[in-house]
Amino acid sequence: MTGATSPNASAAVDPDVAELQRRTFDWFRDVTPIETGLTPDRWPTESFCSVAAVGSALTVWPIAVERGWMGREEALTRTLNTLRFFHDAPQGDAQAGMTGHKGFFYHFLDMETGHRFRNTELSSVDTSLFLGGALFAARWFDREDPREAEVRRLAQAIYDRVEWPFMQVYGDSYISMGWRPENGFIPAKWEGYNEAMIVILMALGSPTHPVGPEAWTTWTSTYDRLSWTDRWGQPHLHFAPLFGHQYSHMWVDFRGIMDPYMRARGFDYFENSRRAAFAQQKYAADNPNGLAGYSNEVWGLTACDGPGDFVQTIDGRERQFFSYSARGPGERDDGTLAPTAAIGSMPFAPEIVIPCLKAMKARYGEAIYTRYGFLDSFNPTLTETSRDLLHGAIQPGVGWVADDYLGIDQGPIVIMTENHLTGLVWERMRGEPNLRRGLERAGFTGGWLDQAA
């Protein structure tokens, strides 16, 4: 069985969907410096650059051209400036003054210099999310024009220099989540189903420094122990926050293609993400913790800002609240809902995602939906507090509302909406040779992979 939902380029676009996608694109355009492409992690709070958000921005520019929101020349200038900046940025093992090491990039970068921000880690996943955007840009800028050719050359050069085996420091071919020059590899590796599909696929597909196919089989061997569930719906690979079911899918069309693990289960990763979205909807409808605002129409838990880290008694019940955290059904669920959680699932389950979008707008209006679309998150359970809030503010009649937009949450809104509407990113990436090589080395077959590149 595969996911039944297919993007429909000819269907009329729902006006609420169209408006949200446009407003969210405007955020990327307005906050990303043209000269460097260093998209901030958040705004309007003063911030550092998120390398993952840069990958989203590189994907958003071509979408905007296709939608008529940006000229091809501006998109090309922004893309070329970004790739030149990251290609030429310093790499090395020094604790400061570097943008990356061994081809990988640091998770966060200083907005002015592009160098490592404080003691942030060299990140395998954030580098991979950047590369997803860079390789998509190389597929989209396909004209016989010297500047577009340079986009293609730089994207491949940045990818080629990543030394993926550097991150294989654990037994059985596991890939590390990151490294710091002060103390080496962080004590965390990629295991259990999550957003790491794109990490391992990028590592497998490298023509210069690949890892072996066992990296994929080692990773999927942890699924049954850590991820498989039938709670809140149909059996699927569970990862509590929905971003884990979305990030790799922003660039990879998993419809109809399966690795050996999913082939044995009888459905693809697209269908798995669909089931995860429905599971979150059911969790919100069941609302086992009695949190305000949850319903069949208003749902969605993922990594996002929250009010702060404190305990407060509400209606006789002690509630634990968190600041920025990964949230999911039964896991650190403090009542904080994130619009990107549902909307980033639009290609998988538009029949429940679009009503959620409309319900959130109708119920909470301008308190959560403003110039650049939805603010990052909101919490209808926390309607008053004497505690110091780490983020946001209490809005009368609504509850706590974040005061920032986050790049890694804005990206899925624009990109996954486009994949639902036209399949633009998926279509171009099907012909991306590095990605195809990674998928094939991981054992994926079927669907579009069986067609000529």
Question: Measured between alpha carbons, how far is 394 from 400 in angstroms, rounded to an integer?
Answer: 4
Task: For residue 441, tell me if it sits in a domain.
Answer: no
Mind giving me the DSSP string for 247-283? TGGGT---TT-B-HHHHHHTS-HHHHHHHHHHHHHHH
- Residue 170, pLDDT > 90, answer no
Q: Which of 10-19, 45-54, 341-350 has the lowest mean pLDDT?
A: 10-19
Q: Which one-letter DSSP state was computed for residue 40?
A: B
pLDDT by residue (tens digit) across 395-423?
999 999 999 999 999 999 999 999 999 99
Predicted confidence band at 3 (pLDDT cuts at 50, 70, 90)? very low
Do residues 110 and 255 both lie within one domain? no
418 Cβ contact partners less than 8 Å away, ≥ 6 residues apart: 21, 63, 66, 424, 425
Domain count within the chain: 2
In this predicted model, what pLDDT tens digit does every residue of 129-162 receive, in sequence order? 999 999 999 999 999 999 999 999 999 999 999 9
Provide the domain limits for residue 194.
Answer: 30-226
> What's the whole-number mean pLDDT along residues 256-285?
98
Of 174, 198, 194, 201, the residue nearest 186 (C-alpha)? 174
Query: Would residue 212 count as lying in a domain?
Result: yes
Of 197, 226, 255, the one marking the end of a domain is 226
In this predicted structure, what is the pLDDT of residue 224?
94
Q: Please report whether residue 72 resides in a domain.
A: yes
pLDDT band of residue 7 (cuts 50, 70, 90) is very low
Token pair listed for 303: 């990594």
Burial 317-329 (b: 16+ CB within 10 A, else e): eebebbbbbbbbb
Query: Which pLDDT value is given to residue 6?
Result: 41
Indicate the SS3 state at residue 312.
strand
Identify the band that residue 11 occupies on the pLDDT scale cut at 50, 70 and 90.
low
Cα atoms found within 13 Å of the Cα of residue 173, Cβ hemisphere only: 16
Tell me, yes or no, whether 334 lies in a domain: yes
* Distance, CA of 374 to CA of 378 (rounded, Å): 10
Q: Has residue 8 got a pLDDT over 50?
A: no
Query: Are both 253 and 300 inside the same structural domain?
Result: yes
CATH of the domain at 186: 1.50.10.140
Is residue 6 in a domain? Answer: no
Q: Is 179 helix (H, G, I), strand (E, B) or coil?
A: strand
Residues 144 and 239 in one domain: no
What is d(CA 226, CA 197) in angstroms, rounded to the nearest whole number? 15
Q: Does residue 21 fall inside a structural domain?
A: no
In this structure, the answer to whether residues 142 and 48 fall within a common structural domain is yes
For residue 292, being part of any structural domain is answered with: yes
pLDDT at 80: 98
Q: Is 365 inside any structural domain?
A: yes
Whether 240 and 197 map to the same domain: the answer is no
Judge if 270 and 309 occupy the same domain: yes
Q: How many CA atoms lie within 13 Å of 148's alpha carbon, on the beta-carbon side? A: 14
Cβ neighbours around 147 below 10 Å, total: 13
> Are 404 and 272 in the same domain?
yes
Do 102 and 70 fall within a single domain? yes
Whether pLDDT at 1 is above 50: no
Q: Are 52 and 134 in contact (CB under 8 A)?
A: no
Could you tell me which residues are beta bridge partners of residue 369?
374
How many other C-beta atoms lie within 10 A of the C-beta of residue 3? 20
Place of tokens 């919100």: 284
Q: Is the pLDDT of residue 243 over 60?
A: yes
Q: What is the average pLDDT across 18-39? A: 98
Q: Are residues 287 and 316 in the same domain?
A: yes
pLDDT exceeds cutoff 90 at 12: no
Q: Are residues 128 and 196 in the same domain?
A: yes
Question: Which pTM was predicted?
Answer: 0.96
Distant-in-sequence, close-in-space partners of 197: CB < 8 Å, separation ≥ 6: 248, 252, 269
- Is residue 355 located within the same domain as residue 274? yes
- The answer on 210 and 235 residing in a single domain is no
Q: What pLDDT shows up at residue 188?
A: 95
Q: Which residues on adjacent β-strands are paired with residue 106?
A: 122
What's the count of helices (H) and strands (E) in the chain, helices before strands?
A: 15, 20
| Residue 295: pLDDT over 50 | yes
- Joined together, the tokens standing for residue 8 give 């429909």
CB atoms within 10 A of CB 396: 8
Q: In whole angstroms, what is the distance from residue 220 CA to residue 196 CA?
A: 11
Task: For the chain, give the percent of residues with pLDDT over 70.
Answer: 97
Residue 60, C-beta contacts closer than 8 angstroms, at least 6 positions apart: 25, 28, 411, 414, 415
